[in-house]
Structures are given as C-alpha cells and as structure tokens.
Structure 1
Amino acid sequence: MMNYDMLKLAVEGLSGGKNTIILDDRGMPSFMVRVPKLRNSDIVAGATQNTHPAFIVDGVEKDLLHISKYQNIVKDDRAYSLPLMDPRVSLTYDQARTFSENKGMGWHLLTNAERAALALWCKKNGTMPRGNNNYGSDHSAAHERGIKTHMADATRIGRVATGSGPASWAHDGTTDGIYDLNGNVWEWFGGYRLVDGEIQIIPYNNAAMHVNQGVDSTLWKAIMPDGSLVDPGTPGTLKYDGTSTIRLATSITTTGTPSTAFKDLALESGLEVPEIVKALALYPDDNNMDGDRFYLNNDGERLPRLGGSWAHTSTAGVFAVSLGGTRSSSAAGLGFRSAYVDL
C-alpha cells in the first residue's frame, strides 16, 4: 500500500492534482484524469446554467468525474488505464461494459454524457486534440508520431502505444490530459443508441451505474423536440434521418448508411434543437469545429463508438461518432475506455 500511496502522491503532485491513481476491487491501479463539474453554459453557447448531465447520477450531483487517461487494456477480465500499452481491441459492446464494471462499484464504460462533456470542453477551450489518424501520425502534423504496437498492413502502422504521442494528442493540449480521443482506435461508449433511427439515451449519467443497457431494458428513453424524455416509440421523438446529408428529424423518410461531418448535420424544417440534445453532443451547437465525421445506420439497433481510428485522417476527432455497428461488432480498430464516479 505504501507503494500505491507514493505513486498516487507523485502523480497528483506532478500534474497539479489534475491526474490521480484509483485502485479497483483487486487493488490494481489505473491512471485517471479528474474532470470538475461543468454547467451547460460552460460548454454550450447560449445554454442555461444547469449542471451538465454527465455530473448527475441517480439524481445526485457529482463534483468530479474520473476518466481513463489512456485507452484501456484488459487483465483478468478487468479494464486498466496504463501508459505505453497496446490498447485492447476486438471486443464487443457488452464485453467493453463488462470489463469496465468488473472493477467494482463506480467503474463503468465511458458514457455518452461524459464523452459529450469532454468533446464540448475541447471545442470551447480551443484544444481539439490531434492523434494517430494517419497510420502512426497525425494527418495535419506528420512529425507527431506514437510508438508502434501494431501494423495495419505490410508497410503502414496501425495502433500506437497508449499515451505515446505528444501533448497535442491530449484533450487539453498538455501531458496532464486525456490521450487518444482522436484516432488510434474507435472506442465503445455507453448510455446511447439508435433503434430504427430513434435516438435513445439512459437519462443524465445514470449509465455510470451498473444498470441494464440491454436490448430490452426499460431504462432507455427517447427525446421529444421540447427536450422531454419519453418511452421509446412515442410518436414525434427525435431521430436521425438517413438522407444523403444526415438530419435531425421527427420521422424517417430514408433508411440507409450515410455519413457527414458532424458540424454539417441538417435539421428538419421548423424543428428547434432542445438544450439537452446540444449538451449531449447529439447535434452541433454551431459549425465552428473540425471535420469530425458522423456515420449512421438507421436500421435496427446501433451502438456508438467515438474518435475514429488510425486511418480516418481529417474525419477523426472528439466529435467523430459511428452509429453503424451492432452490439456484437468487433474489430482490430475498436477498443474502449472506462471511467469512474464516486457512488
């Protein structure tokens, strides 16, 4: 325990308290980044001063979130955030949740509310991170490279070691930030899905608890145009329509697999975007962001992944989301990140 205490003090001291070490139920450490409570108005233009949903769990406001500093590895069926590792890939959505929750109470798969808070914070503060999105380097800064852990093919790098890139690959542009939210591997995240194009969420940050996120869970809620939450299938809920340019709508006119830059999502005529949708980064609050791509399949249940991979160049980034896969999907470019909240 003395070694843990010394490591924790060193990490917190060197980062000015921005980073810490948290042990799981087996006493194994993960490097975590502390994210203080945010209001919607802190990160969404024109929003209210309501506490951001990421900081409300089971009706209780939280002063801090702890986000894995690094994309996770898995040891003994538990997720760990450690530097200079090859991230765990080729796992399904439910495996990513299980590996995260196996660590004990408060541990969970990064949620959409948390993902949105991070992405919007980066945008607001002008620190949109670069990363491994061009076969080992960043497409806009070829001199920025990570340490190779995997080859995409005979000549090109795929994955790089967690946190091995420069500070510009962290969410705040410093070595104290959260690494690899842009590229390297896509990351599963929880509390959000599409069902036949209908947007469904686990309200607030309740997905941070060990709750049922299964296909038939009654915890999923749809969103009305006024921002109220209702049972899935209620007429007039918000959906993503599969036109050539994806649009937020109240009905589906086209089923398909289009993609567009997140900043360019369209809006059904006469529809106003409620604050909750902007706060959860389900629709852009403005178009002042990079070309992070939004991928859609509005047929059946679709689970989200974020960030892009080593091959997505300018379309990777903190707002890049793919809603194209099923919960059983897995790939060599698909990993995950756990988080912790004190329950």
Structure 2
Amino acid sequence: MSIEQINEIVTAADRVVTAVENKAAEIDSKTAALASDYNSKKAALDQQVAANSAQLAIVASDGYRKAIEDASGGRNTVVIDEQGNPNVMVRVQRFNYEDINQAILDRLGVDLMLGTGTPTMFQRNGEQMGEVLIAKYLASSGANGGCSVIGGVQPRTSVDYDVAKALCNKKGAGWHMMSIHEWAAIALWSLANDTVPRGNTNYARSHENKLETARSSDNGIPGDASGLARTDTGKGPATWSHDHTEWGIQDLVGNVWEWLDQMMLSEGQVITTLDNNPEIVEENWIKHSAYFDSPVANTEGTDSAGSPVLNSAITNRNGPIGEDSNDNPYLTNSHFAAITKSETYQKVEILRRLLIESESTTTVSGAIYCRNYGNRFPRRGGNWYGGSLAGLGALNLRSGRSSTPSDLGFRPAFFA
C-alpha cells in the first residue's frame, strides 16, 4: 500500500471521528436541553405539588378546627402553630374575683379574700383580655422539633423548665407556657363552680373514685403499682376536666406534674410577675415579703425538715444559699393551705389569688413541697401515684430548673 493510500485512509478515519464527535456533541446538547427542560418542569411540578399539599393541609386544618368548634359550641378550637403542629385549645372566658369569691362563700361558707376585679390571668402588662386559650391536653411530641396538643397520646415528659418554656415560645407569637396566674384562676373557677377535677392519682385511676380509669402507657391494670401508669392525654372521664365536661381542660390533677411559668422560689423568697406577662424576664419579677421558712435549722440528710412556715424572713434555712441541688432537707405539708403563718408575716393578696397562701383549708386540695435554698421553679397538679397529695392546689418547689423526671410535663397557652 502506497503512502497516498495510507494518507487517504487516515483522512477518511479523521472525518469519521469528527463526524462521530459532532454527533456526540449534538446528542449531548439535546440531552442537556432535555434535562434542563425536565428539571424545570419537575421543579414547577414539585412547586405545584407543594402548593397543593399546603392548600390541602389548610383545608384539612380548617375542617378539623370547624369540626371541633361546631361540636363544642365554640368552647374548643384548633390552632396550628408556626411549626405546623395542631393544638386543641379550650377558650377560658374572663370572670371577676368578687363573683368567684362570693360563689365560694355561698357554697362552702368561707371567704378566701380574693379581692375584686379581673383575675391576673386575663391581665397582660396591665391590659385586660377577654379570653385566654389553654391547651386542652398536656403537650405531646410534635413535628419539626416542636410539640402538639392532641388527645389519646402520651404526654411529653422528662424536659426541664427551660426546654419546656422554649418549646411553648417557639410555637409562635402569643404562645407561652402555662403560667401560675392561669393555673390558679382556673382552679378557683372550678372550686366556685363545684367542678374541681379528679384525675389519674392512683396508677391509672382516681384514688377518690376507683371506677374512673384511663389507659396507661404500659397497658397495665388500673391500680397496679408495679408499672408505669402515666395515662394518655384526655383518655379519662369528663370528671377529670376542669368543668366536668368533655370540652374542659383535661388532666390538671394527677398523671404528671406540670411546669408553670412566672413564679419562682429564690433562697426561700416567693417571686412572681404581677400579671400574666410571659415577656418579663426573671430578673424583673417581683420579690414579695413572703418566705417559706423552716421550723428547724437542720441541714443534714435529704428528708423532710417539717412543714414550711410563711414568714417575713428566713430564720431557719435547710441548705446553703445558692445551692440548687437536692442534697439537703426539704419542707412539706399534705395541704398547701394548712401551713402556718408567723406573727410577723403580712398577708399578700396576689399570693392568695395564686394559691400560694390561703385564708382557709376549705379550698382546692394538694400538698406543698419546697426547699428554702437555691432557686426552685413551680410545678403543680401532682402525679399518677400522688393520691390525696395531688390536686389543683398541689405545689412542688422542691427542685431546680434542670429537673427532668418522667412524671413531669408541661402545657402551652395562647393569647388569641
């Protein structure tokens, strides 16, 4: 074969290679165009699906809310928070202290000296509110790192004070952790209306009426003390709600203790906000001339040092100042209203309104626990094994803000 023939073959091969490369480039270009068109159409489709899903979610949420509102006559509603979690809420309407006090006086013959005017629950930074929405159920786990308020599930527990408060605040504007103002006003309303709730106070049943039961987390037999008898939210009878109806606030008594906001015990001194304003930082809460004093100066061990005494100062402290641990004695009484007052103690009206002091033991029941050293944050209501020590008046100031037991939960509230 001559050189000319070889060159012709090489040239022909080059033309073939060039043609193949051109065709490949053309195919690549068309493939890229198709891919771009596909991605563009897919993105548009995804966007449309997302929009449709969001619209369906809104429609579904609206339908859920309307069904709840229609069935309850507007007493319950559903609020979807900023994390997309549903929250079944009870509308609590404003009332007056004098009407509550008179109803209690007429029914029980005791004057609790609550004063007059709008309860602090319905006052926010001095401005009055016509209603406040309280979670119908204890908070449970939710989507997107949040929490929900729904029935028939286990409550979220083992969260400390700051986590519980943050979970409520992150739900959006108007949301907050239930305050001591809200708890006490609802408790007094129930007392005045003769609807003080029972609850899970005896291992998935009421210690007062053992026929009143609810499903526990371990599906155990009601009354069986060997298991975990924390009940599902709202599974109990109507008498476990604050108004003895299925539309009331559920599980305030027993099941698990509930963190409350806007009150603390600092070195034995009672500190609160003056009205229902969760935006006030702890450093600006009001220090009252009210202390939980001890009858003895004992600092040894971790057992009870006796019943607390409401005093104008601390004369006996049971642990070191600044110590938030539980390594020293605590104070307790089986009824929060049965503790004595010293001769120098000056009664404080707002503390009566908040069920921290009382004019009579003829009121809502529940034990008190506290430590008069370090900073202690409140939980109320009692737990599933509290028996008669649980109740709307039960007040636990025994532990610090980092406490995370399995019998401790929380409840959101909302300013509409």
Name the TM-score, length of structure 1 as normaliser.
Answer: 0.89
Gap regions ≥5 residues in structure 2: 1-57, 102-111, 296-305, 319-329
Residue 206 (structure 2) pairs with residue 138 (structure 1): yes
**Which residue is equivalent to 1:15?**
72
Secondary structure at the counterpart of residue 226 of structure 2 = coil
AA aligned opposite 1:246: P
1:87 aligns with 2:160: no
Superposed, which structure 2 residues align to 1:131-280 within 5 Å? 131-150=199-218, 155-207=226-278, 209=279, 211-213=280-282, 218-223=283-288, 237-243=289-295, 244-256=306-318, 257-260=330-333, 261-280=335-354
SS in 2 for 1:320: strand
Does the Cα contact within 8 Å between 2:241 and 2:249 map onto a contact in 1? yes
Say whether 1:65 aligns with 2:127: no
Per-residue CA deviations over 1:126-181 (Å, capped at 9, x if unaligned) read: 11111111111111111111112147998334201000000011111111111111
Q: Please give the alpha-carbon distance, in whole angstroms, between the structure 1 residues aligned to 2:359 and 2:88.
A: 32
Q: 1:154 to 1:140 in 2, by over 3 A?
A: closer
Secondary structure, in 3 states, of the residue corresponding to 1:120?
helix
Same amino acid, percent of matched pairs = 33
Contact 1:200 1:222 in 2 (8 A): yes
Counterpart of 2:37?
none
Bigger Rg, structure 1 or 2: 2
- What is the number of residues matched between the two proteins? 323
Q: Per-residue CA shift, 1:75-132, capped at 9, x if unaligned?
A: 2332221000100111100000011001001111101111111111111221111111
In the alignment, does 2:394 pair up with 1:320?
yes
The reply to whether residue 3 of structure 1 matches residue 60 of structure 2 is: yes
- Decide whether the 8 Å contact of 1:71 with 1:180 is kept in 2: yes
> Can you list the C-alpha shifts for 1:184-215, whole angstroms capped at 9, x where unaligned?
011111000001100001231112x3x434xx
Match of 2:99?
Answer: 42
Task: Look up the SS of the partner of 2:210 in the other structure.
Answer: strand
CA drift of 1:40 comes to 2.2
Distance in 2 between the 1:49 and 1:16 partners? 30
Q: Give the letter aligned to residue 175 of structure 2.
A: W
CA distance in 2, matches of 1:330, 1:242: 26
Higher RCO (CA-CA < 8 Å; seq separation 6+): 1
**Any conservation in 2 of the 1:151–1:159 contact (CA below 8 Å)?**
no
Counterpart Cα distance in 2 of 1:72 and 1:294: 24
283-292 vs 167-176, greater mean Cα deviation: 283-292
Match of 2:122 in 1: 55
**3-state SS in 2 of match to 1:141:** coil
Residue identity in the other structure for 1:59: G
C-alpha distance in 2 between matches for 1:299 and 1:59: 32
Alignment check: 8 A CA contact 1:136 1:157 kept: no
Structure 2 residue matching 1:144: 3-state secondary structure: coil
Identify if the C-alpha distance between structure 1 residues 252 and 310 changes in structure 2 by more than 3 Å, giving closer, same or farther.
Answer: same
Kept in 1: contact 2:367–2:390 (CA 8 A): yes
The C-alpha deviation readout for 1:31-71, integer Å capped at 9, x for no partner, is: 00111112222334443322111111122111111000001
Inter-partner Cα distance in structure 2 for 1:328 and 1:270: 34
Q: Determine helix, strand or coil for the equivalent of 1:8.
A: helix
The more displaced of 97-106 and 75-84 is: 75-84
Counterpart in the other structure of 1:234: none
- Asked if structure 2 preserves the Cα contact closer than 8 Å seen for 1:68 and 1:81, the reply is yes
In proportion to residue count, which structure has more strand? 1
Unaligned runs of 5+ in 1: 224-236
Q: Distance in 2 between matches of 1:290 and 1:103?
A: 31
Higher helix fraction (1 or 2): 2
Which of 375, 378, 391 does residue 304 from structure 1 map onto? 378
